[in-house]
Each structure stands twice: as structure tokens, then as C-alpha cells.
């Protein structure tokens, strides 16, 4: 190990980032690797994007791994976790980032819209925590960071399914922090505001303008700005922080 590597925040740590092939998840996966972690990501259908992310991780001198896994599947989550432990020799960090939104006002929302968002955004988070928790408990250490949303704190018109899921993840974060704290496991969440991902760039201009009007700093966030907070929470510099939901939104929630 070089002197440079010794100074990295996460040198030698093994991490899982769900939804790590694009957007905020991709920025998180790459920043963890930049700081010395070996990083595994899942994908369901975007094989090409996942493999490109792995190449970028490996170009930084870290181990990268892409695993085909549906986060809403309890079995897939367990199998992926087992694979990562085998390939990386352990697991130290879990970042639950995978999520979808299927917007619609409550009087028009279809059952399928509700079920899909709850299954991926909320149950998916549970699935990976459930798979990782025994490992972290037994080794007496671990970092869990859940990516939620400011809309899970305040509610949002047309997003009853999404806000219910993200609000549930916020509550789950606090409960798991209580349950795993005695085993030296930190469990936190980051709640981004509107972040300038490819999806947001394609949103109608009026939607972007409404969001900008709420943001005190007057600009949309960048995926890297969320990633930096996640990396900090996964490091020993944040060892006294647990059970928190930290907004990363330029003041949009205020």
C-alpha cells in the first residue's frame, strides 16, 4: 500500500451501492472508490452502464463489481451481499440509493404505481439492510447510508407513493440506528433536494423554475455534492453521527 493510499478516507473498505450505475448513485460509487473503497453496484437491465462504472472504479486502482440484482427481491439482495463478501473479502459499507418515482395524484394513482415505488424504494432498502446487518453485527462495525429525499420529510403534491416510501426510509434509518448502535454500526440518511441528474435535465422548464424558487442558494445541486456527504458519513470522521437524516438541498427544505 502506498503512502497516498494510507491517507484515503476509506482505504481497503468494501462497499455496496444500489442503483450505482447512473445519477446520484453513480457519483456515490465513484467517490467512494476515489477515497479508497472497493465498490459493488447492482443493475437490473442497464448492463452497459454498470460495466462502464466498474471500469471507472478499476481505473482508480480499486476493485469494482457489477451484479445483476433486483433490489425489490429479498433473495437477490441476499445473494448479491454474499457475492460481494466472497469477492471483496468482507463488507463495511452499504449505501441504499436505488429508487424510482411513478407520480400521480392520489385519486388517479393506480395500484401498480403504488406497489412498484414501495417495493423498490422502501422494501429494497430493507432487503439490503437485512442482508448486511448480521455481517455488521458480528464484526462490530459498519456504515449504512440511505438516500431519501426532502419530499419524504415534507410531502409533495402528486407523489404520495414516493413520499410515503422515502418517509418510511427515514423512519427505518432511525430505528436501525437504535438497533445496531450497540454494535458500533452507524446508520444515517441523506435527503437531497432537486439534483441536476439527466432525468431532471429533461424535466419541463416550469418544474425546474419552481424548484429553483425554493432553493436558498439559487441553483440545483450536483450529484457529486450528495456523494461527498455520503463518503463523509461512511468514514471514521463521522463515527459519532448516527440516526440522522441530513438534507443536501441548498436550503430547499427550509
Q: For residue 190, give the C-alpha cell.
A: 441523506
Q: How far apart are CA 26 and CA 41, in angstroms?
A: 9
Could you tell me if residue 252 is inside a domain? no
Could you tell me if residue 241 is inside a domain? yes
State pTM to two decimals: 0.94
What's the pLDDT score for residue 6? 54
Q: Which of 188, 241, 240, 234 is nearest to 92 (CA)?
A: 234
Q: Is 100 or 91 the better-scoring residue by pLDDT?
A: 91
Report whether pLDDT(63) > 70.
Answer: yes
Q: How far apart are CA 214 and CA 194, in angstroms?
A: 10
pLDDT digits (tens, 9 = 90+) for 187-218: 999 999 999 988 777 777 887 888 899 999 99
Could you tell me if residue 33 is inside a domain? yes
What's the pLDDT score for residue 234? 98
Domain span at residue 228?
A: 3-247
What's the pLDDT score for residue 1? 39
What's the pLDDT score for residue 189? 98
The domain that holds 34 is classified in CATH as 3.40.50.720
- Which distant-in-sequence residues (6+ apart) come within 8 Å of 34 by Cβ? 60
Count of domains for the chain: 1
Reported as a pLDDT band with limits 50, 70 and 90, residue 46 is: confident
Could you tell me if residue 254 is inside a domain? no
| Window from 25-29, 139-143, 166-170, 201-205 with minimum mean pLDDT | 201-205
Report whether pLDDT(15) > 70.
Answer: yes
What order of strands is seen across the sheet that includes strand 142-147?
A: 64-68, 38-43, 14-17, 93-96, 142-147, 185-192, 245-248
Report whether pLDDT(2) > 80.
Answer: no
What's the pLDDT score for residue 3? 42
Could you tell me if residue 85 is inside a domain? yes
The torsion defined by the Cα of 18, 20, 22 and 24, in degrees rounded to 10, comes to 80
Give the mean model confidence (pLDDT) for residues 29-44: 97
Give the mean model confidence (pLDDT) for residues 10-24: 96
**Residues acting as catalytic residues:** 162
Report whether pLDDT(5) > 50.
Answer: no
Could you tell me if residue 49 is inside a domain? yes
Could you tell me if residue 189 is inside a domain? yes
Could you tell me if residue 36 is inside a domain? yes
Average predicted confidence (pLDDT) for the chain: 94
What's the pLDDT score for residue 4? 45
Amino acid at each position: 500500500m502506498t503512502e497516498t493510499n494510507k491517507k484515503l478516507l476509506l482505504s481497503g473498505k468494501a462497499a455496496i451501492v444500489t442503483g450505482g450505475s447512473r445519477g446520484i448513485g453513480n457519483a456515490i460509487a465513484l467517490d467512494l472508490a476515489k477515497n479508497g473503497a472497493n465498490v459493488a453496484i447492482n443493475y437490473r437491465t442497464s448492463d452497459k452502464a454498470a460495466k462502464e462504472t466498474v471500469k471507472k472504479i478499476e481505473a482508480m486502482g480499486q476493485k469494482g463489481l457489477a451484479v445483476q440484482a433486483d433490489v425489490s427481491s429479498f433473495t437477490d439482495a441476499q445473494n448479491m451481499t454474499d457475492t460481494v463478501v466472497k469477492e471483496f473479502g468482507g463488507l463495511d459499507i452499504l449505501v441504499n440509493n436505488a429508487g424510482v418515482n411513478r407520480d400521480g395524484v392520489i385519486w388517479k394513482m393506480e395500484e401498480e404505481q403504488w406497489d412498484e415505488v414501495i417495493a423498490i424504494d422502501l422494501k429494497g432498502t430493507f432487503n439490503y439492510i437485512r442482508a448486511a446487518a448480521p455481517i455488521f453485527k458480528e464484526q462490530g462495525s459498519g456504515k449504512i447510508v440511505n438516500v431519501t429525499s426532502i419530499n419524504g420529510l415534507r410531502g409533495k403534491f402528486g407523489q404520495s407513493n414516493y413520499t410515503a416510501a422515502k418517509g418510511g426510509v427515514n423512519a427505518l434509518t432511525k430505528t436501525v440506528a437504535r438497533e445496531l448502535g450497540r454494535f458500533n454500526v452507524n446508520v444515517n440518511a441523506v435527503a437531497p433536494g432537486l439534483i441536476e441528474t439527466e432525468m431532471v435535465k429533461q424535466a419541463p422548464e416550469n418544474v425546474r423554475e419552481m424548484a429553483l424558487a425554493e432553493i436558498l442558494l439559487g441553483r440545483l445541486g450536483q450529484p457529486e455534492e450528495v456523494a461527498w456527504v455520503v463518503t463523509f458519513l461512511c468514514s471514521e470522521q463521522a463515527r459519532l453521527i448516527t440516526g440522522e437524516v441530513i438534507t443536501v438541498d441548498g436550503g430547499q427544505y427550509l
